[in-house]
Structure 1
Amino acid sequence: MSRPVDLLLEHLRAEEARGVEHVYLDEEAKEVLRELHRQARSGGKPKASAAAGAGEAVAETPKAAKPVVVTEVRAEGESAAARIESLKLQAAEWPAAKALGSLRETMVFSTGAAEAELMLVGEAPGYQEERQREPFVGPAGQKLNDILKAMGLERPAVYISNIVKFRPAMPNQTTNNRKPTLDEMASCLPFIREEVKVVRPKCIVALGGTAAEGLLGLSGSVGAMRGRWHEFEGIPVRVTYHPAYLLHGNAALSDKRKIWEDMLEVMEKLGLPISDKQRGFFLPKS
């Protein structure tokens, strides 16, 4: 008969075989592991409840396997702003991200209101973001600001973040950027989970296909992802094109309209007023 710990180690080895190197623990799983640790130190047997839950928790690394980095993120502070600041301090030296060796050193966390109704999530900082240490600056950031203004919102009133908190590295890198890998997004995903818990937005917008992939586990084109509501940590999520998409010379009026239709749905979800003029943005002239 398999022991719960055997099931646990089998699960870890299966995850390792899939290429998973980092795992996320919720509070229930962490308490199970604490109880097992306490019992082991005291020489006693684990309580039945702890042993039963151990098969579902992710715990210590099997000795024969490559180490799995078990990490914990905790937002602390009396105010939402203080809790976001505590997450920022933890992210700067985050072991799971540092262990990958594929991310640059400068941390870029978030910007905006810590208790915003709207949260915008991108994939990772680029050259401009790394220089200014703020998400969505430069030409793409200006496009995002224009979109928010058209919605009747100002940038400081929303919460803007990225899944990955460091710029993905490349050989001989200057201004060139690359999209983050799944491992890089997985290493920083616990922070987005905690940010959502702190901010408690009414809805989230995933900006671009990579952000949707990391946040929601989706794959495919943005065109296939948009047009409906998804969910992350109990919060409605809308997927739309990255603002940089509008910088391409081939971005047509119909593409701008698609992004705007997504934003109209977000405005409806937030209960924002929508004028006839706003509803008509980027429609073909009759």
Structure 2
Amino acid sequence: MSRPIDVLVDALRAEQARGVADVHLDESAKAILRDWHRQTREARSGGAPKQVMPAVVETTEPEQPQVVREVAATGNSAAEKIESLRRMAADWAPAKALGSLRETMVFSTGNPEADLMLVGEAPGYHEEREQEPFVGPAGQKLNDILKAMGLAREQTYISNIVKFRPAMPKQTTNNRKPTAEEMAACIPFIREEVKVVRPKVIVALGATAAEGLLGLSGSVGRMRASWQDFEGTPARVTYHPAYLLHGSAGLKDKRMIWEDMLEVMERLGLPISDKQRSYFLPKS
């Protein structure tokens, strides 16, 4: 298994080969380099053979290569640009260097020119198996919500902030939410996806997605009451579809999510019938 320093140096050498001289170094990469430097210094003081620092790292400021924090899509069409991002994400060094994510990359699905973009936190067990976001029970709930809005899944663009399933000891079907560090490592892709897709509205699904995407904290109940902004694009927070899978979720919970979707439909200019407006209201 490759050490974090080896993964990082390989990534830096690849960037140097592309002509990149100055890039940002995040805290996780700094920690890797500091640990490597400490181990090297201790080995030298103990009489161990002198280790030679890789040339790509052994440069003076400001030329010292650092982890790239931005990505740029390539291609002519939106579909080509999304595909270029998918290829980059598969070997994204800042995410792999963390050592806390699994190996299978799960990118996005849907229309790369959609008016509506839905963003979750990270892939889970089912998504990792199918290599597609929101395909498990929560994904079926999302499909049902979209159908009630008069939309097919294929008409929207669906993605996650983190592109790899967060790892756990002895992991089987169990999942965990991504850490702030894991989301920070992958957020450059969501930023570029938004630039490519150019949606009219973004929906953040759940508190963790709202935290990583919009920098919000607290409960969804407090976040969902107003419109937010993501780099110029209107954004709305609602509950993750998995919330509806809880045994305690009732008509009131469904209505709260539906009210959020009615707001989204209004912003998108979608037709809304009286029947749709009355979904999940108590029967008189």
1:68/1:76 CA distance change after superposition, 3 Å? closer
Which stretches in structure 1 are left out of the alignment for 5+ residues? 1-11, 23-40, 42-58, 62-66
Q: What are the Cα deviations for residues 221-264 of structure 1, in whole angstroms up to 9, with x where unaligned?
A: 00010011001010000000000000001001111000000000
Secondary structure of 2:117 counterpart: strand
2:79 aligns with one of 74, 78, 81 = 81
Amino acid at match of 2:178: P
In the alignment, is the contact (CA less than 8 A) between 1:74 and 1:194 conserved in 2? yes
What percent identity do the matched residue pairs reach?
A: 77
Which stretches in structure 2 are left out of the alignment for 5+ residues? 1-23, 32-58
Secondary structure of 1:186 counterpart: helix
Q: After TM superposition, list the pairs within 5 Å mapping 1:96-107 onto structure 2.
A: 96-107=94-105
TM-score by length of 1: 0.78
2:131 aligns with one of 130, 133, 137 = 133
2 CA distance for matches of 1:278 and 1:151?
Answer: 8
Residue in 2 that maps onto 1:267: 265
2 CA distance for matches of 1:278 and 1:284?
Answer: 14
In the alignment, is the contact (CA less than 8 A) between 1:20 and 1:183 conserved in 2? no
Q: After TM superposition, list the pairs within 5 Å mapping 1:106-185 onto structure 2.
A: 106-185=104-183
2 CA distance for matches of 1:60 and 1:246?
Answer: 51
Query: 1:126 deviation in Å?
Result: 0.1
Residue in 1 that maps onto 2:68: 70
Q: What are the Cα deviations for residues 29-59 of structure 1, in whole angstroms up to 9, with x where unaligned?
A: xxxxxxxxxxxx9xxxxxxxxxxxxxxxxx7
Query: 1:70 deviation in Å?
Result: 3.1
Query: 1:108 deviation in Å?
Result: 0.1
1 CA distance for matches of 2:63 and 2:263?
Answer: 44
2 CA distance for matches of 1:119 and 1:21?
Answer: 33
Q: After TM superposition, list the pairs within 5 Å mapping 1:188-267 onto structure 2.
A: 188-267=186-265
1:21/1:84 CA distance change after superposition, 3 Å? farther
1 CA distance for matches of 2:135 and 2:210?
Answer: 20
Query: 1:21 deviation in Å?
Result: 5.9
2 CA distance for matches of 1:181 and 1:20?
Answer: 16
Q: Alignment length, in residue pairs?
A: 232
1:148/1:69 CA distance change after superposition, 3 Å? same
Secondary structure of 1:71 counterpart: coil
Secondary structure of 2:88 counterpart: helix
In the alignment, is the contact (CA less than 8 A) between 2:162 and 2:182 conserved in 1? yes
2 CA distance for matches of 1:120 and 1:171?
Answer: 29
2 CA distance for matches of 1:214 and 1:276?
Answer: 35
Amino acid at match of 2:162: V
Amino acid at match of 1:199: V
2 CA distance for matches of 1:75 and 1:233?
Answer: 17
1 CA distance for matches of 2:78 and 2:253?
Answer: 36
Deviating beyond 2 angstroms after TM superposition, the runs of 4 or more aligned structure 1 residues are 19-22, 67-72
Secondary structure of 1:111 counterpart: strand
Judge which range, 67-76 or 199-208, deviates more. Answer: 67-76
Secondary structure of 2:225 counterpart: coil
Query: 1:74 deviation in Å?
Result: 1.0
1:248/1:20 CA distance change after superposition, 3 Å? farther
Residue in 2 that maps onto 1:3: none
2 CA distance for matches of 1:90 and 1:168?
Answer: 19
In the alignment, is the contact (CA less than 8 A) between 1:21 and 1:69 conserved in 2? no
TM-score by length of 2: 0.78
2 CA distance for matches of 1:256 and 1:21?
Answer: 45
Secondary structure of 2:228 counterpart: strand
2 CA distance for matches of 1:182 and 1:20?
Answer: 15
